Structure 1
Amino acid sequence: MNSINWSTEFLPGKTDNFVSNEVIATGITLADVWANLVDTSKWETYYDNATNIELSDKSDSNLHFAETFHFDTFGFPIDAQVMELVAPYDGQVARLAWHGWQNGDADTQFDVYHAFLIEKLADGRIRLLTQESQIGKPAAELAQQDPNPMLNGHQKWLDGLVKAARQN
């Protein structure tokens, strides 16, 4: 199966926290999932853990390659930059990834790499994978919680994406 493209710094298993969530669904299209994922104006309609979203390019609400943006999630104000953006075109696997951070001191500095992969499978199925690798003391503290709030939160994001795609 296809996988996330990781930089060495964020390689899973080498960071303070890592979560992976996956859904395989039918009755949705790659295009509908993608439209709901890259259009940040839709995030709050299906995922209540992403708020105060503000893009650097105010000409539209879609994420663009290398664009910077801000949003609040899991109680953290996150600044981010889109690092990978590959639309689903001609059978290509769709990919979206960003580097996110919260500046601060040794106790509050937080760096993440969050990626989504969406691919068409046989028999009308769509695979949605999201993974996030995190560095910093806040990440280590999240990793110690049971259940890990990132794991549950990101599952809600994928489940919300599927539900939103079904409503298109």
Structure 2
Amino acid sequence: MNAILWPEGYTPGTTENFVSNEVIVAGLSAADVWPLLSVPAQWPTYYANSANVRFYEGRGPELALGDRFYFETFGFPVESQVTEFVPPSAAEAGRVAWHGWAGEDGADDRLDVIHAWLVEDLDGGRVRILTQEVQKGAPAKALHEAKPNPMINGHQDWLDGLVAAAFASKQV
């Protein structure tokens, strides 16, 4: 199976917080999942912790490499820029990642994240969806110390909602 590709300075285990969530589901394909993940306006329809998505510079509605966009999650207003975007194909897994930030650069409350997704078809009509996030800054440390970890639980809700929405879209 494939792994997330991390940019320099964001290797898991070297920052204040890292979370990883994964599902493997029979009956879905990467092609079923990708449109729901690659179009941020879809996120609030299946993930209640996502709101007010908007693109900059007339971009969207689908993410693309280099795109700047904004959304709100976990109580943070998150400015974001897509750092990786590879739609799934028969030859390779789908990959999407963005650098997200909240707060002013250098401020005590600054949060920097890389949120990455991998969507790949597996044998037997299964799909694997992996989401991982590396976080830097004081807010990341607080999230890491919170029990239960809100990032792990929130990302599991995102995965569960994504899977349910993909199954529902197949029924239409």
Q: How high is the TM-score relative to the length of structure 1?
A: 0.96
CA displacement, residues 41-87 of structure 1 (integer Å, 9 cap, x when unaligned): 21111001110111114454111110000011000000000000000
Q: 1:20 maps to which residue?
A: 20
Q: 1:68 maps to which residue?
A: 68
Q: 1:81 maps to which residue?
A: 81
Runs of 4+ in 1 over 3 A off after TM superposition: 57-60
Q: 2:46 maps to which residue?
A: 46
Give the aligned CA root-mean-square deviation in angstroms.
1.2
CA displacement, residues 2-49 of structure 1 (integer Å, 9 cap, x when unaligned): 100011211000000000000000111211200000111211110011
Q: Is contact 1:84-1:95 (8 Å) kept?
A: yes
What amino acid does structure 2 have at the position aligned with 1:125?
R
Deviates more, 1:113-122 or 1:59-68: 59-68
Q: How high is the TM-score relative to the length of structure 2?
A: 0.94
What amino acid does structure 2 have at the position aligned with 1:68?
R
- 1:58, 1:166 → 2: CA distance? 31
Unaligned runs of 5+ residues in structure 1 are: none
Q: Is contact 1:106-1:137 (8 Å) kept?
A: no
Identity %: 49
